[in-house]
Structure 1
Amino acid sequence: MKYPHFTPSQETAPPAAVHPLSVSEITAVIREVLEGALPNLLITGEISNFTHHSSGHMYFSLKDENATLRCTFFRYANRTLTFRPQNGMQVIVRGEISVYPPNGSYQLNVRELIPLGVGNLHTEFERLKQKLGAEGLFEATTKRPIPAFPRIIGVITSPTGAAVRDILNILRRRAPHIPVILRPVRVQGDAAAHEIATAIADFNQATIPVDVLIVGRGGGSLEDLWAFNEEVVARAIFESQIPVVSAVGHETDFTISDFVADLRAPTPSAAAELVSPDTHEILAGLNDVQDRLYSAITRRLAALREQLDRYQNSPTLKRPAQYIQLKMQQLDAREQALARAIQHRLHQKQSQLQHLVSLVNSLNPLAILERGYSVTRKGDQIITRAGQLAIEDTVTVQFAHGSAECVVQATHP
């Protein structure tokens, strides 16, 4: 791309002879040249004018004794940052130069930020994080629940730092009834990690049961917080049977302990609030329950009192003898009505029985014999015609009372 410019012979030519660039055009040219020529830089310097915006973006200047470079560290790139940048900190920055057209300035878009002299620590942090993550030490399914009402709280931290004062002050204010056992340890230096891991193991083996542990310290550089990035501490937290709350540094500080712990608190003060029920809130809740219970009992008593008043004013309780007499009269009336009903029912059944007896008697062959008729049999055969008999046949004649054996002397068909 060719850009308009003056040659020596044109320096005295009128401006109309050359087409000038607009501010936007020259800014676009500068942007193209800079961004195309400087895509991936590694720069060292000192942080100044650091600002962590509410949007999550970080803005700061990188300077040395002769120059200053504005830097932008967007949220999507800084969310994995393992330390809190501070003014005056020497760092190594990886990124690319970009031009910001609205004010015509150039800046460095940061992709990675490493404290100077701790590059190896940052590499070790990522290595251990990947290793323990692959082993499942960060899985949500392994997290133990934090008890809502702990009976005893254990604290593992330095006995002289600001963190222990903040923790104890908040626990004393929120839950003064809960005993706190402090296990003092070193929280930085070569022996700190071993002391922290030993303290966690000792709490798990102690005869006094602790319901939850706070393990942490105040803020500091990556080197200061490194004890909480040691594998021995991570495994001690993972193997603990007591729920562990990690409270290391500030909200932007992340350590391996945070990932392994059952709960991460952004600060030691927040950890104290997370593990302790607020006594004032509990009392307020109990007072509310008491008020609602009192109202319910009052309403119930009023209803019972109203019911008692109705009973006291009822004729039954005022004149019980009269009430009993009335009930006795009603009982006598019902007894008489029952007797009449039974008598009527018996009369109906007797009439039905007599009718059935008459019907049966009318169908009884013996009743016919009572009227002078008889039945003649020849063996098992009933004789109904004279032609069924022969002279000298023996027949049996059945009367209403008794029978006779007869011999046929003559027949008249």
Structure 2
Amino acid sequence: MMNDIVFGVSDFVAVFNQTIEYAYPSINIVGELANFRVSKNRWVYFDLKDDMSSVKFFGTVYQLPGPLEDGLMVQVTGVPRLHPQYGFSISVQNLKPVGEGSIKRASALLEAKLRSEGLFDASRKRLLPYPPARIGLVTSAESAAYHDFIKILQERWGGVEVELADVQVQGEKAPPQLIAALDYFNSHNNPVEVIVITRGGGSAEDLSAFNHEQLTRSVATSRIPTLVAVGHEVDVSLAELAADRRASTPSNAAQILVPDKTNAIADVRASIEVMHNQVLSNILMSKACVYDNVSDIFQALEGSLLVASRDILLLRSEVEAQNPARIFGKGFAQIRNVATNKLSKSVHDIQIGTEIEVRFVDGTATAQIYSKSSVSDL
């Protein structure tokens, strides 16, 4: 009988571990966190307790969802073991806060940690392409969030290519799937222009995946700009704080990314109307300027013509004054030496016997010089 068996200590530990491993290869325990401590930035020790009992746990910091503190209600998944030297404890496989109060408190602790690292700084934020040609959408294909986003996107703009990464958005599998989707889009050979991570609203526990530390860090370090939309107006998730832009709902995310084509067309028409009116105004102003310039030119020409007319009249008067006919009309005559056919301007140009031609205002006469005298002879 089993009661008659006597074990050595090591044998008992071995049998106990084999028995409990067979009966409970993995167990889930909910309790209040107590005596929480971290050793050498790697090893984690704590107790889970209720009103009557307490159980020791052991694990590593890599299995934690983020900073923790005593008093939080958590659910731990782990492997029970009886250690030969340290006694009974449970090796942690997974840990998560439970209950709205503990979930929010754990989220606040993680937010303070990440904020101190500058992960949410405005200087890290990038502008989103507007509108994008290609969108990487991370959500559940069966969710209302997916259908709402696609519906509003197509109604407002259309023609945008959307590549879906179908993932779980709540539960234990959600964080690693969300992180894998981000990694996929960031390593894509034909990269999208923006990554949208979205889901509808829910309880604090439903939304806890979006407060996961590694997911938050992946959003913050994404090579491609990110837009996170969790349909919960009251609380903002850490993934939203880390994103380049957040939206209140999946529909709001679509509204942020693309313009309303109806409004866009109206804006284009209004712009065309403004440009038409501006061009028309410029033409009218140009016509007025041309008219004014032509008027100025005509006035200038008119003034120039008046001056020219006056100058011509003066010149005409001068020319008329020098007209030989007028001179002849005053009794003057012109004398030409017939032999030389040259005008005789002086008495010294002719000799006694020279034949001359005398021109009068109304004709000519021929004469011969019989005598001459100069002024100096008088």
After TM superposition, the score normalised by the length of structure 2 is 0.50
- How many Å separate the matches in 1 of 2:295 and 2:160? 57
Which of 287, 291, 300 does residue 269 from structure 2 map onto?
Answer: 287
Which of 163, 171, 178 does residue 189 from structure 1 map onto?
Answer: 171
- How many Å separate the matches in 2 of 1:228 and 1:222? 10
Pairing 1:177–2:159 present: yes
Pairing 1:141–2:109 present: no
Structure with a larger share of its residues in strand = 2
Contact 2:186 2:223 in 1 (8 A): yes
The size of the alignment, in residue pairs, is 218
Deviation track 1:335-364 (CA, whole Å, cap 9, x = no partner) reads x9xxxxxxxxxxxxxxxxxxxxxxxxxxxx
What runs of 5+ residues in structure 1 fail to find an aligned partner? 1-91, 93-114, 317-321, 337-413
Pairing 1:252–2:238 present: no
Tell me the equivalent position of 1:216. 198
Offset of 1:218 from its aligned partner? 0.7
Aligned residue identity for 2:144: A
Aligned residue identity for 1:260: A
Contact 1:234 1:260 in 2 (8 A): yes
Offset of 1:205 from its aligned partner? 2.0
Tell me the equivalent position of 1:167. 149
Offset of 1:287 from its aligned partner? 0.9
- How many Å separate the matches in 1 of 2:291 and 2:101? 87
Aligned residue identity for 1:224: D
CA 1:306–1:257 in 2, change beyond 3 Å: closer, same or farther?
same
Pairing 1:236–2:218 present: yes
Which of 138, 149, 152 does residue 156 from structure 1 map onto?
Answer: 138
CA 1:304–1:255 in 2, change beyond 3 Å: closer, same or farther?
closer
Offset of 1:326 from its aligned partner? 5.0
- Structure 2 SS opposite 1:214: strand
- How many Å separate the matches in 1 of 2:116 and 2:290? 73
Which of 248, 263, 266 does residue 248 from structure 2 map onto?
Answer: 266
- How many Å separate the matches in 1 of 2:297 and 2:121? 75
- How many Å separate the matches in 1 of 2:185 and 2:267? 33
Aligned residue identity for 2:228: S
Offset of 1:116 from its aligned partner? 7.2
- How many Å separate the matches in 2 of 1:162 and 1:155? 14
CA 1:196–1:315 in 2, change beyond 3 Å: closer, same or farther?
closer
After TM superposition, the score normalised by the length of structure 1 is 0.46
Offset of 1:257 from its aligned partner? 0.8
What runs of 5+ residues in structure 2 fail to find an aligned partner? 1-72, 74-96, 316-378
Contact 1:150 1:275 in 2 (8 A): yes
Contact 1:229 1:256 in 2 (8 A): yes
- How many Å separate the matches in 2 of 1:117 and 1:306? 79
Contact 1:212 1:275 in 2 (8 A): no
Aligned residue identity for 2:119: L
Deviation track 1:388-411 (CA, whole Å, cap 9, x = no partner) reads xxxxxxxxxxxxxxxxxxxxxxxx
Deviation track 1:51-86 (CA, whole Å, cap 9, x = no partner) reads xxxxxxxxxxxxxxxxxxxxxxxxxxxxxxxxxxxx
Offset of 1:188 from its aligned partner? 1.4
RMSD, aligned CA: 3.5
- How many Å separate the matches in 1 of 2:243 and 2:116? 16
Which of 79, 87, 108 does residue 126 from structure 1 map onto?
Answer: 108
